[in-house]
């Protein structure tokens, strides 16, 4: 099945003291209230399980219940906000969990979203068009003439443009292929670095972002007829020491082994399948060799072999 990913977000660094929230979810997906930490690297598995797919390793996280197995959501939307531990979301309507470790997401965008503004010049030009959010948002302490503020506002503009594009291409939301949207918003983090987290600009930007996320969640939820999961991940900072490094095909010596006992790696769910395939193929080949060897050993050259039979007839005729 095809998977649609918008604004690819690959977060491979360590996540420190953050939050994973469920903004919207259909009745077929059940998230339990509780203070259960979720490892960041298992968030893609949560998305997969909520949509009815299997994962390589079992997820023993009590936050996600079984739900309705015959009615799975058609889309999952995950928005990652960098620069803040948590956002002041409306109480009661959002379920949140502590986030640990790392977040991994990967994919590619559908061609429909190639018209979105991605470069700084395109984003700036989009903001100053008549249909931009600058004409409807209360900027308060934010400025139209500051590049950092414009970067933050341009991300909100992209959110609005995504829902507008989907409303014009409703066949994407009505097909039978599950869709996955992954977005990363870093504008709030830049505002915090520029003005400080106690500044009026940061507080105004946080409130504007919460309102924009709520509207975006409602739009995406309604576009899929209430059959979509909208998730929010807040990331305060990244730990560079936990950044995933590239791997090489050359063998390297492990300087600091995780265990001194030289234990084998953990088997995945495909191990039993591969083991049975190799086992029974080897048994079948062994039986074939034994039967063939037995028949050749007990063969009578005068009666069973066509070579000897043809040679014997020719000798008699001569």
Task: Please determine, for residue 34, whether its predicted confidence score (pLDDT) is greater than 70.
Answer: yes
Average pLDDT over residues 66-86: 88
Average pLDDT over residues 225-244: 75
Each residue's pLDDT tens digit, 266-299:
667 778 888 899 999 999 999 999 999 998 888 7
Dihedral (CA of 15, 18, 23, 29) sign: positive
Task: Please determine, for residue 33, whether its predicted confidence score (pLDDT) is greater than 80.
Answer: yes
HEC letters along 95-141? EEEEEECECCCCCCCCHHHHHCCCCHHHHHHHHCCCCCHHHCCCCCC
Strands (E), the chain: 14-15, 18-24, 38-39, 75-82, 95-100, 179-185, 228-235, 238-239
Instruction: Report the 10 Å Cβ neighbour count for 3.
Output: 16
SS3 22: strand
Query: What is the domain partition of the chain in residue ranges?
Result: 16-235, 271-299
Average pLDDT over residues 17-29: 88
State the pTM of this model: 0.67
Q: Are 158 and 7 in contact (CB under 8 A)?
A: yes
Higher pLDDT: 156 or 3? It is 156
Sole residue written with tokens 């058609």? 74
**9 exposure class (CB count in 10 Å sphere: 0-12, 13-18, 19+):** buried
Average pLDDT over residues 247-260: 47
């Amino acid at each position: 099945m095809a998977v649609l990913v918008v604004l690819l977000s690959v977060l491979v660094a360590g996540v420190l003291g953050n939050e994973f929230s469920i903004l919207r979810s259909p009745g077929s997906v059940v998230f339990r209230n509780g203070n259960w930490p979720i490892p960041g690297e298992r968030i893609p598995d949560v998305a997969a399980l909520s949509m009815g797919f299997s994962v390589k390793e079992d997820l023993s996280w009590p936050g996600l219940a079984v739900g309705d197995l015959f009615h799975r959501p058609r889309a999952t939307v995950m928005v990652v906000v960098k620069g803040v531990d948590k956002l002041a979301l409306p109480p009661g309507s959002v379920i949140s969990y502590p986030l640990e470790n790392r977040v991994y997401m990967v994919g590619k965008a559908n061609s429909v979203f190639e018209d979105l503004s991605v470069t700084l010049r395109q984003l700036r030009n989009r903001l100053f068009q008549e249909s931009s959010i600058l004409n409807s948002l209360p900027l308060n302490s934010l400025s139209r003439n500051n590049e950092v503020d414009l970067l933050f506002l341009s991300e909100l503009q992209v959110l609005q443009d995504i829902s507008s594009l989907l409303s014009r291409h409703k066949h994407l939301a009505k097909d039978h292929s599950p869709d996955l949207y992954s977005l990363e918003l870093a504008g709030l983090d830049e505002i915090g670095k520029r003005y400080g987290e106690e500044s009026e600009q940061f507080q105004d930007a946080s409130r504007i972002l919460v309102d924009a996320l709520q509207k975006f969640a409602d739009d995406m939820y309604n576009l899929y007829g209430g059959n979509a999961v909208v998730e929010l991940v807040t990331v305060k900072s990244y730990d560079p020491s936990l950044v995933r490094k590239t791997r090489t095909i050359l063998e390297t010596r492990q300087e600091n082994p995780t265990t001194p006992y030289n234990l084998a790696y953990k088997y995945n769910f495909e191990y039993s399948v591969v083991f049975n395939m190799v086992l029974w193929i080897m048994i079948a080949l062994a039986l074939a060799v034994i039967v063939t060897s037995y028949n050749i050993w007990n063969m009578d050259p005068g009666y069973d072999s066509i070579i000897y039979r043809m040679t014997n007839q020719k000798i008699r005729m001569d």
